[in-house]
Amino acid sequence: MLLNTNIKLLRKEKRLTQETMSTGIGISRSKLAGYELNVNPPLETLVRISDYLNVSVDILLREDLTSYSEYKLRELLETDQFLRGRKLRILATTVDDQGRELIEVVSQKVKASYLAGFSDPEFIAELPRFALPFLPMDKKHRVFQVDGDSMLPIPDGSWIVCEYMDDWLAIKDGERYVIVTEQDGVTFKIAYNRIISEQRLLLCSANPIYPPFEVEIEQVREVWKHRLAMS
Domain definitions of the chain by residue range? 3-84, 103-230
Note down pLDDT in tens along the chain; length 231 residues.
Answer: 689 999 999 998 888 899 989 988 999 999 999 999 989 999 889 988 988 888 888 888 888 888 887 767 776 676 666 666 655 455 788 888 777 789 999 999 999 899 888 888 899 999 999 988 888 877 899 999 999 999 999 999 999 999 999 888 889 999 999 999 988 899 999 999 998 888 899 999 999 999 999 999 888 999 999 999 987
The pLDDT, as a whole number, for residue 162 is 96
- Round to whole Å and give the CA distance between 22 and 7: 12
| 3-state secondary structure at position 223 | strand
pTM for this one?
A: 0.65
Multiple choice CATH, 3-84, 1.20.1740.10, 1.10.260.40, 1.10.645.10, 3.40.50.720: 1.10.260.40
The answer to whether 3-84 and 103-230 have equal CATH topology is: no
* Mode of pairing for the β-strands spanning 220-230 and 159-164: antiparallel
| Distance between first and last Cα of the chain | 49
Cα 180–Cα 175–Cα 167 angle in degrees, nearest 5 = 55
Q: Which fold does the domain 103-230 belong to in CATH?
A: Umud Fragment, subunit A (2.10.109)
The pLDDT, as a whole number, for residue 196 is 81
